[in-house]
Structure 1
């Protein structure tokens, strides 16, 4: 029997709403709080802005694009450089500037449309680019789980194995109510295993104050910091387009056309701009949550909104936020293993659904080069911005696609003969 699909605009039964919302929050939590840790700030303000940004995204996209906004990793390198030389306030100014420019880019797309996407990223290039969103993160999942350490700890392997095992078995064997919350059940199973082997320290939970305001702060602006941060716009725009296309493929709707790329890109960057104004880190649509939707078949924005509200609540309730932060890395790694793989598979699905003909050398060359560039580890550095992985592969695919488009118009392709 086919899995019951709950579509974007459908309401979720009351008994499912809370567990499904918690499941989405857990999926994004590990990666989202890692960014503020790397910037040396308290994650409470980030949890708050992730929730606010997600609700804004849902509102701006008219509830048609299910996406959870978490902390963006694209800003880490230039952000840390600015923090080291000027301070966090000037990095916030850079976040605001990039978000503002992203909103302007959304206006340009609204004016000139999105047909250019089919030219610069045809299916033969878009499929592998989307697949790389998940595949290039696979080592990150293994590293988070502790599987790439010089000395691998048995407890890490055990907790990781239980978490991944329950997630895999639950995704294919659980039925009825349990079939839509396999990720949540896997997190709970992994957490209980971690408690049993003594990996959890509850001291921060006991010592946390009942209520605490997020540590809001305000930006300062410097032209040098802004110019250092601005090239990130290319990275986040490429990432956003990829996420919208793969989400659209999963839910069976063209999100580039409805609600429109201009709306979703504006919402994404408007959230980042607001984040910089209150002291949080920039936000972006999260692949982990796309993976949850692919596994569960639940695409309702009601669930995404529920997860956002929970995130906001956690930012104010000290013990709850502290408890969530005790989730050990092997649990996050175990869940990420499956979620990232699902995103990679979604990229391959683009090739299948669009019946890409690999009898044509153009398609074969496009897919081959994009995959190799993305997985080779090649990095191109421009100023403080490093282009590698999916982003570099996306840019390469776009340039090649434009070149092949020009060859086609000039009747230079050998297949025409």
Structure 2
């Protein structure tokens, strides 16, 4: 009888794990769909990355790792400029930066990171990410390629499809109940695909021609200085966000994961998972807030559930028809989702500044925020020989340097950001 009880418990965990993957699925595959990477590889690296994270955290944190939205713009720009292998090389180094940060936190505590990267820097950088991506989303919603150079779907037809996807995503996020509210992106994509089929836009030829099962199409990195130096500064914002994600899952479960296993261990797991993903051609990994919401809803606090979610992701990565189906989703469907997504990224940056409680009209703060945003969105670039720094990378470097070099206000120091500090054990 005891064996049967154990077996049923495992079956229950497997089903819960599959549900967790379903919650993460829309966001997980969205990054490769937007950047031209392989969806099956993203599924595989999300599963393996989650297992690596569990090893680093000794299986204590019920969280799932998958494709990071913070790297969408760098990947798009990097692939267009240097190609996918060189961009992957930059992302491998980005994962190594996480690893270095984890050892820095182990040595000096999280306070040193928050001093180097206060909200007055990270907030505007996140805003720049959303604003730079905005034209790509609008172009795709209008049925064009991301750069607007070619029309793929007639504009009126594309608008019907993209607005249906957008409206569904917004309405589900606002009015959805239970599990439905956790998968607004997946619902938006489903409605957009159904509209595309009805309007004769969806082409199933690629899906029909694809074999059912195949090993994911891995791509391996090459290392060049330009993409590495371009991508490294962008790792700073998601590194800070990781801290917030761990606080969130701690709040949901009632356990202080900042103490045990510690942010030093969770950051290490995130970094190693990102390095592994980039080595195989997948997008960098990050902890998923959607899954944290699902944990809160189901009360599934057992980290073993995420092990099953990871195994399900690895198994699905070998279903080649799934990847063919995802890659054939019409451009307007993704465009409608991207409009909301990129706007949401910008709002996250604004909220970072609002919650910090800084006076943005104070001359020092005004200079930092203004230069980050205008350098990033305005297209400012610096060229030194063959090296070029611009866009998000320049915005991040500008913010860090200005925050370190500009003197404090003459009539009193600017208020410190309100932030939760980790325990001294970190």
| TM-score, with length taken from structure 2 | 0.72
The correspondence of residues 226-375 of structure 1 with structure 2, limited to 5 A, is 227=225, 230-232=228-230, 234-244=232-242, 247=245, 262-275=264-277, 279-281=280-282, 283-285=284-286, 308-358=310-360, 360-375=362-377
d(CA) in 2 for partners of 1:255 and 1:129? 27
Give the match for residue 166 of structure 1: 168
Cα separation, 2, equivalents of 1:122 and 1:93: 28
- Structure 1 equivalent of residue 211 of structure 2: 209
> C-alpha distance in 2, partners of 1:381/1:314?
44
Could you tell me how far 1:298 is from its partner in structure 2? 6.8
**Cα distance 1:140–1:306, how it changes in 2: closer, same or farther (>3 A)?**
farther
Larger deviation: 199-208 or 298-307? 298-307
Match of 1:117 among 113, 117, 120: 113
> Aligned with 2:317: secondary structure?
helix
Instruction: Choose from 167, 175, 196 the match for 2:177.
Output: 175
Q: Which runs of 5+ in 2 are unaligned?
A: 1-11, 414-426
Q: C-alpha offsets along residues 330-367 of structure 1, whole Å, 9 cap, x if unaligned?
A: 22221222222222222222222232234633233322
- 396, 408, 413: which one pairs with 2:410? 413
**Which sits farther off after the overlay, 375-384 or 187-196?**
375-384
Alpha carbons 1:98, 1:229 under 8 Å: kept: no
5+ long unaligned stretches in structure 1:
1-11
- Find the residue that maps to 1:335 and give its secondary structure: helix
**Does structure 2 conserve the Cα–Cα contact (< 8 Å) formed by 1:212 and 1:316?**
yes
Which stretch has the larger CA shift, 355-364 or 155-164?
Answer: 355-364
- 5 Å matches for 1:46-85? 46-57=42-53, 59-61=55-57, 62-63=60-61, 67-69=65-67, 74=74
- 1:123/1:273 CA distance change after superposition, 3 Å: closer
Please state how far the C-alpha of 1:402 moved relative to its aligned partner. Answer: 1.1
Contact 1:292 1:339 in 2 (8 A): no
Q: What is the root-mean-square deviation in Å for CA atoms of aligned residues?
A: 4.3
User: How far did 1:117 drift?
Assistant: 2.8
* Structure 2 CA distance for aligned equivalents of residues 136 and 298 of structure 1: 34
| Displacement of 1:313 | 2.6
Give the superposition deviation at 1:228: 5.5
How big is the shift at 1:79?
A: 7.3
Q: Residues of 2 paired with 1:194 and 1:367: CA distance?
A: 41
Cα distance in 2, alignment partners of residues 13 and 275 from structure 1: 25
| Separation of aligned partners in 1, 2:83 and 2:361 | 51
For the Cα contact (< 8 Å) 1:45–1:215, is it kept in 2?
A: yes
> Aligned with 1:357: secondary structure?
coil
Q: Deviations over 1:154-212 (max 9, x none)?
A: 22111101000111122223334533333222221111001111122222322322221
- The answer on whether the counterparts of 1:163 and 1:186 sit within 8 Å (CA) in structure 2 is yes
* Matching of residues 83-232 of structure 1 within 5 Å: 99-100=95-96, 103-146=99-142, 149=148, 153-215=155-217, 225=223, 227=225, 230-232=228-230
Q: What residue number does 2:420 align with?
A: none
* 1:113/1:79 CA distance change after superposition, 3 Å: farther
Q: CA deviation at 1:296?
A: 12
